[in-house]
Structure 1
Amino acid sequence: MTDHITDPGGDQRPITVKYTYGADGHNFLGYPNVVHVENDGLDNLYKVLDRYEYESTEKLMVGNDEVRSVTRRFNRFHLLVSETTLQGTHQQTQTTRYYADDDDTLSFDAQPRQCQLPKEAITRWELTDDAREWRIDVERSEYDIHGNQTLRETLKKTS
């Protein structure tokens, strides 16, 4: 599916959500890194032993006007590593680093137990037409091997 159209009726313009995927051809199935799909019940992308990311973009359209776009980027463990929302001149970007050692060649089984938990989450708000106006929130977290949060630090910066 690339488009989802809702017609509210009552002389209102139709609302369309358009979906596109990264220009590099990467997708949630692991293409082009996963050439042979094994039907063993396991996620084939978890078996990729290189850095791998894929993205999707959703655009909210009212009539022919783009109202908002959201671009999401995921790593080889399907963890959301970044999300950028643009509406008019307002942009919010959320970037998340996890305990997963995604830059190395470690298999999923060799990852730390906290691999799917966020280590650092950065949220940046900005105006695309005025670089002087921005705000950044940073949240750092630590977890024990059972997933219990043992530390949470927050930092806020503004222009």
Structure 2
Amino acid sequence: MHLPVNHPARPIYRVLAGLIGVYILAFGVYGVVLTWDTGLFGRGSDWSLGLRTNLAFSIVSVIFGAFLLIGASRRGNLGHYMNLTAGAVFLFTALLMMGLLQTANFLNFSMSTVIVSLVFGLILLGTGLYDKVGPPEHAEAAHERRYHPVAKHHR
């Protein structure tokens, strides 16, 4: 498997992951304030920044938003691995909660929350795939492979 090393758009991907982290952190903080007096796993109609929430989901969002901001602020491969992990977690959680919407919806998800989680998961997975850092010689080898004359004929 080949992941691009030192991709020129790395700063853009890091900013994108950081913006997702800021949204999730703001969603979580506002959700905690909004649902502080309700039960931890309440199934009320509390909405924070366009998504339905409860106290448990808001607390998890605060932690996860901070996690994403830490990953976006790191220059090494820590952010790369954090974004890959976060993308997989978002995708898995969205699919799990979609299956539990009508039964054991302990995080008070709505279908809009599932869709946002799937989109965030795909974006974070994509940022993780292109956010890998390596020594300059690895980047140069990848560049040579990409622009080799033989590679141009096989496109």
Shared fold (TM-score, shorter chain, > 0.5): no
Which is helix-richer, 1 or 2? 2
Which is strand-richer, 1 or 2? 1
TM-score, length of structure 2 as denominator length: 0.27
TM-score, length of structure 1 as denominator length: 0.27
